[in-house]
Amino acid sequence: MIMKTEGNMIQLRLKNTDSIHSKKRVLMTLLLTLILVLSGCQVNGSQNETDNNGITGEGDALENNKGGSTQLNIVTTLFPQYDFTKEIGGDAVNVTLIIPPGVEPHAFEPTPQDVLKMLDADVLIYTSAEMEPWITSVLETLDPTKTLVVDASAGVEMIASDHDHEEAADHEEDADDADDEHDGIDPHYWLDPNNAIIMVSNILSALSDKLPEKATLFSENASKLTNDLEALDQTIVDAVERFDSKTILSGGHFAFGYFAHRYGLENVSPYEGFSPDAEPTPQKIAQLIDTISSTKAKAIYYEELIDPRVAKVISDETGVEMLLLHAAHNISKEELSNGTTYLEIMYGNLERLKEGLGYK
């Protein structure tokens, strides 16, 4: 009888949660519609097909007010495509990162001002529906004759998160529940440099389509960036062969699933899911401490932009060093002012992996 009652309570909570998610989606749609009306935008009701590079929409480039020169106004949702777009576009683009520096992206929700920036862009480049579940409402509201939309994940083979491989199939069948999708599919695909190369290709296609007179420049810049990413990949392959340990011990929400899969590494984390509000159980923390003792690990890794309190507890208990493993979701104000790049972040990660896993 008690178990039955608990089951009913769980079902009730799930229904309430679904109701909350539905209300949030409705409110977001209403807000976007109101913004469009107030800004004088007209929504084109036709649906444009998406090409192989994840691009939808059409329209001509806007004229920059400075000297009348053509410059694309581009909005990106996450740091990797922000960095790649700047590298490819050069002076021909004005790139905005919609998420403020220092903000943890998994909990980010765009403000009305952010939405207006996206609706007014010549090109909108987003990471994926799994990484940005709020993007669906924005895409339903923008004018596809004005804004070219790029799904940077187009062509990437997405994988299930390490903590829940079995949910992936269920989430593919239920695309309406964006929050659950985010838990089932690992959205951090850019941490495999080969997927970053796919992102570069998608961005190149979009910029060339939108501003064809600069296509040669874009292609040259993208080719150089691709070569740099290929060199990064080979450097990591060579380094991993010399690692003493192949297991990454993380005190945070492990985002390096694609990285680990690419380079034959394993990971252990006390967390389940990527939500910054999630908390590991004491049992999971105890298991990780036991793993550190048995493997004689040298370091516990923590993630950027989140208080590493769990990693610190484990470090204090075991005496191992705390090292940053930067997933490049977003960067701090200091990193932004210093011009930090994706490549610099990844090479920094490699050096800290050498230190923590042992390097011959």
- CATH, residue 97: 3.40.50.1980
Residues 344, 246, single domain; the answer is yes
Give every residue of the chain whose pLDDT is below 50, as ranges: 1-24, 26, 35-50, 58-68, 164-182
**Residue 84 lies in domain:** 2-232
CA distance 58 to 52: 15
Residues 247, 337, single domain; the answer is yes
Pick the last residue of a domain from 193, 211, 232.
232
Cα–Cα distances in angstroms (integers) from residue 134 to residues 17, 90, 254, 291, in the given order: 17, 29, 22, 37
Is this model's pTM higher than 0.85 or not?
no
In degrees, rounded to 5, the angle at the alpha carbon of residue 162 between the alpha carbons of residues 253 and 233 is 85
Pick the last residue of a domain from 168, 200, 232.
232
pLDDT of residue 69: 56
The one-letter amino acid at 194: N
> What 3-state DSSP class applies to 263?
helix
Residues 188, 321, single domain; the answer is no
Residues 209, 266, single domain; the answer is no
Residues 260, 198, single domain; the answer is no
Residues 59, 156, single domain; the answer is yes
Contacts of residue 40, Cβ cutoff 8 Å, sequence gap at least 6 = none
Helices and strands, number each (H, E), in the chain: 13, 9
Residues 31, 152, single domain; the answer is yes
Pick the last residue of a domain from 232, 255, 280.
232
Task: Retrieve residue 356's tokens.
Answer: 């923590």
Total number of domains in the chain: 2
pLDDT of residue 161: 81
> What 3-state DSSP class applies to 187?
coil
Residues 194, 245, single domain; the answer is no
**Residues linked to residue 125 through DSSP beta bridges, in sequence order:** 76, 150
Residues 133, 110, single domain; the answer is yes
CA distance 28 to 112: 10
pLDDT of residue 324: 97
Residues 182, 277, single domain; the answer is no
- The per-residue b/e assignment along 176-209, b for 16 or more CB within 10 angstroms, e otherwise, is ebbebbbbbbbbbbbbbbebbbbbbbbbbbbbbb
Residues 59, 105, single domain; the answer is yes
Residues 72, 149, single domain; the answer is yes
Helix 342-357 × helix 79-89 angle, to 10°: 130
The one-letter amino acid at 308: P
